[in-house]
Structure 1
């Protein structure tokens, strides 16, 4: 069974989206700043169907992460961002299981992405994603509420944070509403670049 992984860009004060995130502002007002480090990387550009781009440690880290998932889980709010959710050829190239209260038939897109709409909750979406992914990882794409649910349930095995040196001072925090239990992570990698610091965390082994 593959692991459950998540990769998120985060401000120094813990926000992964700016204020008023939604259809009009998918990343929140000013939220694009959290992702500016990635836009010129070769792996990111290739995922968007563009040529060229920068190489180096940041790009290598991103390329490795892009290759891992065999399926994706995301929340309904993240699915509907933008006028045309994720365009005609989304960057996932894998089955995507959308946690939603709105049942509908699967939607197939170019490039191997098919959206499946799961109304039985996050647990069922994860089960379906694991079946589709086989031995590959399941990527948890977000948004914040869904990531928090996975953390509370103990389903998230690995978390890669891209910490950007900016104070967002508002928006959606990653670690709100994760419960009151003690949660411990084990740091397995730190990669520091001028515009971002990458911190890879794994769920710590139980004590005893």
Structure 2
């Protein structure tokens, strides 16, 4: 059965990108530039990204000029990018642009994933949209020993403790790794 996973890294004070939409702070942490494979969703058959995450990845690795680098992170998996704009695609990359609500895109994303998981890479608001409609099964967070002054919040939604169940907590190098199962939203909203 396909599961939807929001798996990300965050600063100790809850920012997933700094005020310049950069993840440079993350890569400066020991182990941040090459995370342990056990920290990445092993069964992800599809990746989902917001346009800010997608554009940052394009720029950071200069993927338009070096499309061969695309597979280093994305592999051969299809990538759904939620955007309202026309964006470039690295040569050979399987990028599928989505306009509109998450709920409308779910059937296509599920079909592309088959019996594998869907990794909601980021950002936090996009993951929140999945949570809003009850289509987020797990939140996995690698907390870095960094404090940022501001930026993009981890998940800009209020999700009460009755929807979150701690699955695991452990040290992973310099990171604290927390995994929570996510329950369905209340029937009244």
Q: TM-score w.r.t. structure 1 length?
A: 0.72
Aligned residues: 178
| Offset, 1:192 | 1.0
8 Å contact from structure 2 (residues 26, 144) kept in 1: no
8 Å contact from structure 2 (residues 134, 183) kept in 1: no
Larger RCO (CA within 8 A; separation ≥ 6)? 2
Compared CA separation, residues 18 and 164, structure 1 to 2 (3 A): same
2:20 maps to 1:10: no
Compared CA separation, residues 155 and 94, structure 1 to 2 (3 A): same
| Cα distance in structure 1, aligned partners of 2:177 and 2:27 | 17
Unaligned 5+ segments in structure 1 are: 42-58
SS at match of 2:79: strand
Compared CA separation, residues 136 and 171, structure 1 to 2 (3 A): same
Compared CA separation, residues 179 and 190, structure 1 to 2 (3 A): closer
Q: TM-score w.r.t. structure 2 length?
A: 0.79
SS at match of 2:107: helix
2:45 maps to 1:70: yes
| Offset, 1:205 | 7.2
Deviation sequence 1:56-107 (CA, Å, 0-9, x none): xxx35236x2x31111111112222243457513221201111111357x95
| Cα distance in structure 2, aligned partners of 1:179 and 1:193 | 27
Deviation sequence 1:18-72 (CA, Å, 0-9, x none): 1121xxxx327x4544x6423245xxxxxxxxxxxxxxxxx35236x2x311111
SS at match of 2:97: strand
Unaligned 5+ segments in structure 2 are: none
User: Out of 50, 63, 67, which is 1:88 matched to?
Assistant: 67
